[in-house]
Structure 1
Amino acid sequence: MSPRLAPPSAVAAQTISESSPIASPPFDIIAAYRRILNDDSISMPVAAILALVELIEFSTAGTTFELVQALTDGAEQLKSRTPNSISLSAGVELFVAFVTLFPHESDSFDDLKAELVSEGRKYAQEAQTYRAKIAEFTFKFIKDNAVILTHSYSRVVMHALLHAHKHKRISVYVTEARPRGLGIKTCEALTALGVPCTVVLDSAVAYLMDKVDVVLVGSEAVVESGGLINAVGSYQLAIIAKAHHKPFYALAESYKFHRLFPLSQYDLPTHTPNILSFPRAPASSSAPGLGSPSASYTAALAAAAPPPTPARGLSSTNLGHPPPASASMTSDQLARNPEVDYTRPDLITLVFSDVGILTPSGVSQYLVGMFAG
């Protein structure tokens, strides 16, 4: 027997008779962050700041301590739900510090929260102009007919390249940037706008470097040491550029300056014991040389054998080399590789930011001033 619905008048009477107000749903900071991030022009740190601004609007905190605690909890939620949260962490750290140090001159706490919301949105709007400022700084260091090497895909680097293209003749090499292959996206975007661009293999950077005038890379974060955290492969670009005496410039918005001091690749927050670990060998496999060789070992020997010498007349597309069993990595293989790496400050020539052109040591000084109020 289906349940009987109460007549509308009874429902209305029940609603009116209730003394407690209807509770509003709790604020979902993850949903807010993802909604804001749908705008491709907004970076992760700025999206995180705007999500925290919305949290202030919905917050019932009555004191600064409660508000800062709510923001800290919201920041932890964002970081825990984001696989690579380095740049996001820089943004939320900056905003929480801003709220903590904000002068309390409002007549009431509600007025203070409204002022914080206004200032947060004003900052996010201003942050949209940072890439244009960085492009202007970078422009002075790009000569006419320059050959530029960049890595993966970076919105701030794209701004710099397109600004240079309007006034100078440039050519761009971009690494494929496996496994995500975002160098293809960079090349397609530049080519569509008339910039000569060629994609190169990540393994061909040293082969190419003699042709390059300058290396430009973006950033996930610029850390307190003056070093750079960016898409994996940036570190090897910097090493090769240094060996060839080519300038290596990092482009970074100031909201990506992060109070982090890694000493090596393994100090990064994204590093886990699984990265670059060896897969566990099957229990049934036996070591070669102890009795008869296993089938897998025999297959490995066969695969390692040199290919037969091709006979004359064979097509150049088939010289006796069998195609690889798989041209792509498995999900388990990808999971064992890092997404980002750390480039030491001694390999970085300059850091171009909206606050100016800085040496790596200058970044440390700026961070100290930023968080000292």
Structure 2
Amino acid sequence: MRADQSPFFMSPNASTNSEAMVTQSLQRSSDVDAVVREFHEALARSSDMAVAVAAIQALTTVIKNSTSTTMMGLERELKDAAASLQNCNPTAISLKAGCELFLRYTTRTSAIEADTFAAAKKRLIERGQHFAETSKRARATIAELGERFIRKGSTVLVHGHSRVAIAILRKAAAAGKQFSVIVTEGRPDETGLTMARVLDEMRVPTTVILDCAAGYVMERVDLALVGAEAVVENGGVINKLGTYTIALAAKEHNVPVYVAAESYKFARLFPLNQRDLPLERKQLDFGPLLPTSAAIDNPSRDYTPPQYITLLFTDLGVLTPAAVSDELIQLYV
């Protein structure tokens, strides 16, 4: 057997190709580390930074720093980077939806109609920056729209610590409207207490209640305002555990339920029941009196069907739940 027929023989070309593959693999690993680092740094720079917006900014940086010389290569880099970001928190629906929307928005055909790759890449960067800026402005746009629904003397029930809901309440307070807020405690992460501190700084009269007291206070509530982790295809929402319970009580008392959510939280999901949600549970300590044989089940989120939602305040406008599917089609076309 000749040397070049031996299974252990490697031609010079094969060696070069192997080295190139190793180099590319190491480069991809380095790129993944860089995008994750950029993502975490963006979140660390601002406590108001939304997870999806931080991901969008990190993905835009991937385009800027890419060494790819083809659209196929650049698109592969973006997909790898998006996958690595989603792996940071696999159950974060808004993170996944933000990444998917970014990829769809930046790489759709009209974005890459250019004579040269350099021109196409420049256009992709511009699209990415525009998408990031639009996403950052979303909260202010929603505040402008939602503030109109808070009337003088209103009692507002809020659940969870929603930055966009806070923006609406802040806008209403700045407009000189006198209103009060009832805040659910938000166990086990005490998000309601965080919300109460923000409202106290805004000098808005605030009452904190137990989560299970939402039905009890509903008869003196004028409107319920919640955020959303995701808005799904049928116009329903996935949000902090307890949102569904509040919506049920509000329906019984004819209290409108308003959801404030940025369009990057629109997700291609169609849950039919609570068991269809991505599994995520929070730690909860019931204390030493809990029997050791008792199981604990504490999901972090629930699904509120569209029939219990009055309107959604979004950066795309004030929408009925029925209009969400049309907007999703436009976003992903």
The residue aligned with 1:14 is none
2:59 aligns with 52
- The alignment status of 1:65 with 2:72, answered yes or no, reads yes
Q: How does 1:153-168 map to 2 (within 5 A)?
A: 153-166=161-174, 167-168=176-177
Match of 1:35 in 2: 41
Aligned to 1:291: none
What is the aligned partner in structure 1 of residue 103 from structure 2? 96
Residue number in structure 1 paired with 2:204: 195
Look up the match of 1:122. 130
Distance 2:244 2:84 in 1: 30
Structure 2 residue aligned with 1:213: 222
**Count of aligned residue pairs for this structure pair:** 300
Correspondences of 1:1-373 after superposition (within 5 Å): 26-27=30-31, 28=33, 29-38=35-44, 39-103=46-110, 104-166=112-174, 167-270=176-279, 326=288, 336-372=297-333
Say if 1:50 and 1:124, in contact at 8 Å, map to a contact too: yes
8 Å Cα contact 1:145/1:169 also seen in 2: yes
User: Which whole-Å CA distance do the structure 2 matches of 1:92 and 1:327 have between them?
Assistant: 44
Contact 2:233 2:325 in 1 (8 A): yes
The DSSP-based 3-state class of the residue aligned with 1:258 is coil
The runs of 5 or more residues in structure 1 that have no matched partner are 1-19, 277-323
Partners in 1 of 2:132 and 2:180 — Cα distance?
33
**1:327 offset after TM fit, Å?**
8.5
Alpha-carbon deviation of 1:333? 7.1
1:68 and 1:99 in contact (8 A); partners too? no
Question: Aligned-pair distance for 1:148?
Answer: 0.1
1:371 CA drift (Å): 1.3
Secondary structure (helix, strand or coil) at the match of 1:55 reads: helix
Q: How far apart, CA to CA, are the structure 2 residues paired with 1:337 and 1:77? A: 27
| Partner Cα separation in structure 1 for residue 36 and residue 265 of structure 2 | 20
Contact 2:142 2:168 in 1 (8 A): yes
Q: Which has the higher helix share?
A: 2
Shift of 1:102: 4.5
Structure 1 counterpart SS, 2:91:
coil
Per-residue CA distance 1:213-237 (angstroms, 9 max, x = gap)? 0000001111111110111111111
1: CA distance, partners of 2:98 / 2:146? 23
Q: Give the Cα–Cα distance (whole angstroms) in 1 for the partners of residues 155 and 69 of structure 2.
A: 57
Structure number with bigger Rg = 1
Distance in 2 (CA, whole Å) between partners of 1:157 and 1:232 is 17
- Write the distance in 2 (CA, Å) between the matches of 1:36 and 1:329: 43
Please say if residues 248 and 350 of structure 1, whose CA atoms lie closer than 8 Å, have aligned partners that are also in contact: yes
Q: SS at 1:138's partner residue?
A: helix
Asked whether the 8 Å contact 2:106–2:128 carries over to 1, the reply is no
Q: Report if the CA contact (8 A) 2:155-2:221 is conserved.
A: yes
8 Å contact 2:43–2:49 — kept in the other structure? Answer: yes
Answer whether contact 2:102 2:131 (CA < 8 A) is retained. no
Query: Judging changes above 3 Å, is the alpha-carbon distance between structure 1 residues 137 and 328 closer, same or farther for their aligned structure 2 residues?
Result: farther
| Distance in 1 separating the partners of 2:287 and 2:113 | 68
Q: Which runs of 5+ in 2 are unaligned?
A: 1-19
Identity of aligned residues (%): 41
The CA deviation at 1:64 is 2.3
How far does the alpha carbon of each residue in 1:46-89 deviate from its partner, in whole angstroms, 9 at most, with x for none?
11111111122232333223222222222222222215310001
- Structure 1 window deviating more from structure 2 (90-99 vs 135-144): it is 135-144
After TM superposition, the score normalised by the length of structure 2 is 0.83
When structure 1 is superposed on structure 2, of 126-135 and 239-248 the one drifting more is 126-135
Please tell me whether the aligned partners of residues 173 and 202 of structure 2 are also in contact (alpha carbons under 8 angstroms).
no
Distance 1:233 1:329, change over 3 A: farther
Distance 2:291 2:105 in 1: 43
Are the structure 2 counterparts of residues 269 and 325 from structure 1 closer, same or farther at C-alpha, using a change threshold of 3 Å?
Answer: closer
Distance 2:199 2:171 in 1: 12
Distance 1:67 1:263 in 2: 37
